[in-house]
Structure formats: structure tokens, C-alpha cells
A and B are shown apart, each in its own frame.
Chain A
Amino acid sequence: MSTYRKYYRPFIGPFDPCSPIQWKSYETPPQLYLGFQPYNLPQNSPKEALRTGTLWPALFAPYPDPYKVSTSEEGEEQN
């Protein structure tokens, strides 16, 4: 299963004026990986579909705050 957000460590210069962001992230949403959508994928209930914006869980990609997520994960990754 592919992740819908990727992280990388940008180059950090010794003389950067602002305190560096250690990890940067970018979105890689599900449509990048699905190709031609297969038949008979699992479907959301009508209520879920209305709430999420898609009938297909395989195409559902939430967008959590990238700054929040990366800060909370920074510590774990740096060890």
C-alpha cells in the first residue's frame, strides 16, 4: 500500500537565516498509483460517500496538516 505523503530531508545550509525545517513533505495522492480503476472495488456507504467525497475508499486521501504531522514525527526519525 502506497503512502499518500512522502518526506525528505532538504539541504540545510550552515548560514540559513531561519531555523530549518528538518523534514519536508509532499502529497502523493492515490490517483497516482491506481492506474485504470479496477472493477468491483469496495464501496463506501452512501452516507460515507457523501461525507468523504468519494464512493471508493481506494481513492480517499485525507489531508492532515503537514506541519503538525512532520513536527510530531521529527523526533522519531532523527534518532
Chain B
Amino acid sequence: MWVYEKKLQYPVRVSKCDPMMAKYLIEQYGGADGELAAALRYLNQRYTLPEKVIGLVNDIGTEELSHLEMIATMVYKLTKDATAEQMKEAGLGAHYASHDKALYFNDASGNPFSATYFTAKGDPIADLYEDIAAEEKARATYQWLINMTDDTDLIDSLTFLREREIIHSQRFREAVEIIKDDQSTKKVF
């Protein structure tokens, strides 16, 4: 189970009216390397990983949910006061036609979220390496998002999220080292 704290992990301020940025940010909401894919990937993999790294994967998966909230907050703030006309101008006409201002799990091109974005191979090395790759791809996405805006407040939040990807990647790399180690009970075969 989870305990919910009714606050964001890191403050989200948006100081520029830029609904088009919401269209790009949604990549990190329902995109292939987004926070939803990350959270679901880790929270699903944790069952069949070696005991020593389950806690780590559980914690990172949980943190991804808090990142998902931050992205949602950004998207909401950027679109909540847009008119239908502004939504069209921002490239969100198709989104508006289907969802009004509601958030929807799709990528920046409008492709709906898919479970095929991630996997659970059952082999701990394969799964942890996928996790590392996912973190690096998410870090890259944050870089490209930062490159597309000049809103310093938004950049501040995105920079925090990018840094967390770096930390998560490091922790997953450590998880690989942990499960590479021969454990105390040696087996001879």
C-alpha cells in the first residue's frame, strides 16, 4: 500500500502562458519513456527480482508516481486557462476535441499510452539494464524539453526531474553490482 502526502515532491511553478509546451510535456506523462511507463515498469518488475534489490526498485517506482504528479501539474497549469482557439493554436485541437482540458496518457504526437512501452523479462540483468536505459532516455527527454522553453520556473522543475533520472540510473547500476556479487552462501557446481 501507499501513504499519500498531499504535496508535490518539488514545487511546480509555471510563469509563462505557453499551452504548446503542454503538448510537448505530455511526452513525459504518457510517452514511451515517460513517468507512467517508468512507475509501472518498476512496480511490476519488483515482484520477481532478487530480494536484495526489491526495496530499491519499489522506492524508485514510487518516486516516479510523484514525478507523474509534477508533470500533470505542469500540463494542467499550462492548459487550464486556454480557450478552444488557443488550444487549436497550440497544436492541441485534436486533444481538445476528444478530451477538453482533461489530461490523457498519450505522447507528444498523440499516440495513446501502451503497455508495450516497457517489459518484464524476468531475468534480473535484462530487467535492470532496461531500467538503466529507461532512466537515460527520460533524462534525454527532459533535456529536449528544457531546450524548448525559456520559462525559468518550468526549467527549474524540469532540471530537478532530470537530476532525479541521473540518481535513479546510478541506483539501478548499483543494483546490478549488488546482484552481480556472489552472495554469502557459496554454491559449488
A positions within 8 Å CB-CB of B: 2-3, 5-11, 24, 26-29, 32-33, 64, 69, 73, 77
Contacts and interface: CB of A to CB of B under 8 A. Distances in A.
Nearest to B181: A6
Contacts, number: 42
Contact of A3 (B50, B123, B182): B182
B110 interface: no
Interface of A is mostly: mixed
A10 B50 CA distance: 7
Contact of B50 (A2, A6, A29, A64): A6
B183 A32 contact: no
Interface in B124-156: 124-125
A74 to B, nearest CB: 10
Nearest to A7: B187
Nearest to B176: A32
B180 interface: yes
B179 interface: yes
A26 B50 contact: yes
B189 A33 contact: no
